[in-house]
Amino acid sequence: MPISLATAIKSLRLNDQFAVYPTCPTCHRIETATIPTAELEAFTCPACDTELFSSSSAYHYFSTLLDPVDAPASWSRPQPKMVVSYRSIPALLSEFLSRDGMVENMDTWRVKDRVQDRLRDVMDGRIWKELQGPDGKPFFGDHCPDELRVGLVIHLDWCNFRCSAQSTHHSTGLFSISVANLPESERYQTKNLLIPCIMPGPTEPNTRQLQEYIILMVDELLQLYDRGMDCPASPNRLVRAAVTLVICDHPAMCKFFGLADKRHENSPCHRCDVKASEWSTEKSLSCGCRSKTFEELRELALAYQQLPLEEQDGAFKQSGVRWFAFLKLPYFNPRRMAVLDPMHNILLGRVSFNLPMSSHST
């Protein structure tokens, strides 16, 4: 009987295809460069000077049972204190498009019947129609039939140890990607979901720490948008991809985009300028508050990034905005393209979490 995931994978002769990178246990900076073995034990995080490696626990345990000469060399090699499993998005997409008939299936949305002024799918919405490509023309327009244009939807969630009876001591999160081009009946099938990143536990990263994982994806997403990649099924065809939506629950969305949550005094809502003290007033409940703009969000986030580290918390207390990695994507507007998952708490059996403030005011 396998006693670990690694043993189970090896016994079943599976290959998970993930790269495993050392990660700082303090700031979660990910070290993707190769580190010489001789430097591992003394290697520290360039950002916060935390030690990333420790002596192998296997070596310390078995050294009392075996002669050091008989112990495998790998047991004495320093091991990372924390790691992240990552698979590049271009590699995932290439493998996905290599399936029989997948490229043709990805283009079926172009010939699907549409009913004017009726929203039946993501392609009927304004984002799909108005999103601009690197050439300034509609990304999903008809002017580039020789290219395969892919719409990606990013999802983020954790197994929260505070709310799970099955996982009381550890919380692990992951990013998943669904492909919007697929028909609705196939879009969220497990076999069609791409998993680029599995984050370590034992607790959820905070907003700053989460950006370290997102920035890995952003660099690849920029490449897929600007330069594209060769289509594995059609070598002479270019594939470009763009993120059309980010869908997650409210706490995850606040971390993803550096926003304050409902407990913030000055900015409890990421869509309007309501104050916490005005939450249950007639003005707030009748949507009478001024809507925030993406330009305001971007300006505050960039200003936050320029501040010394010791001043950033004070700025966040005033504005409710931190810097977030998706600012590097020139086309992405979280005011329009970040979507709350309305079924999240319903499926968890915690409907009261959807409108907690309303329950207090009625």
164 with 133, same domain: the answer is yes
169 with 205, same domain: the answer is yes
Residue 6 belongs to a domain: no
3-state secondary structure of 167: coil
Residue 293 belongs to a domain: no
Compute CA 169 distance to the chain's CA centroid, rounded to the nearest angstrom.
23
Q: Which residues pair with 85 in a beta bridge?
A: 20, 198
Number of Cβ atoms within 10 Å of the Cβ of 93? 23
- Locate the DSSP E strands across 70-146: 79-80, 83-86
93 with 239, same domain: the answer is yes
Q: Which residues pair with 155 in a beta bridge?
A: 176, 247
Note down the domain range covering 41.
23-83
131: its two tokens? 């999103």
- DSSP labels, 4-52: SHHHHHHHTT-----EEEEB-TTT--B--S---GGGTTT-B-TTT--B-
63 with 182, same domain: the answer is no
Long-range contacts of 135-141 (CB under 8 A, 24+ apart): 139/240, 139/242, 139/331
41 with 178, same domain: the answer is no
User: CA 187 to CA 138: how far, in whole Å?
Assistant: 23
Residue 278 belongs to a domain: no
137 with 252, same domain: the answer is yes
- Structurally, the chain folds into a number of domains equal to 2
- DSSP labels, 209-251: HHHHHHHHHHHHHHHHHHT-EE-SSSTT-EEEEEEEEEEE-HH
3-state secondary structure of 152: strand
By DSSP bridging, strand 147-158 and strand 238-248 are: parallel
| Global pTM value | 0.83
104 with 64, same domain: the answer is no
74 with 168, same domain: the answer is no
Residue 11 belongs to a domain: no
Q: At what angle do helices 294-306 and 309-319 cross, to 10 degrees?
A: 160
229 with 158, same domain: the answer is yes
Considering just the CA atoms, what is the radius of gyration of the chain in Å? 23
106 and 234 Cβ atoms separated by less than 8 Å = no
Give residue 187's identity as a one-letter amino acid code: R
Written as tens digits, the pLDDT of the chain (362 aa) is 666 666 777 787 777 788 899 999 999 999 988 888 778 878 899 999 999 888 754 444 433 444 444 445 555 578 889 999 999 999 999 999 999 999 999 988 888 777 787 888 888 889 999 999 999 999 998 888 889 999 999 999 887 655 555 555 667 889 999 999 999 899 999 999 999 999 987 888 999 999 999 999 999 999 999 999 999 988 789 999 999 999 998 889 999 999 988 888 888 887 788 888 887 788 777 777 888 899 999 999 999 999 999 999 999 999 999 999 999 999 999 999 999 887 666 666 555 555 544 433 43
User: CA 32 to CA 35: how far, in whole Å?
Assistant: 9
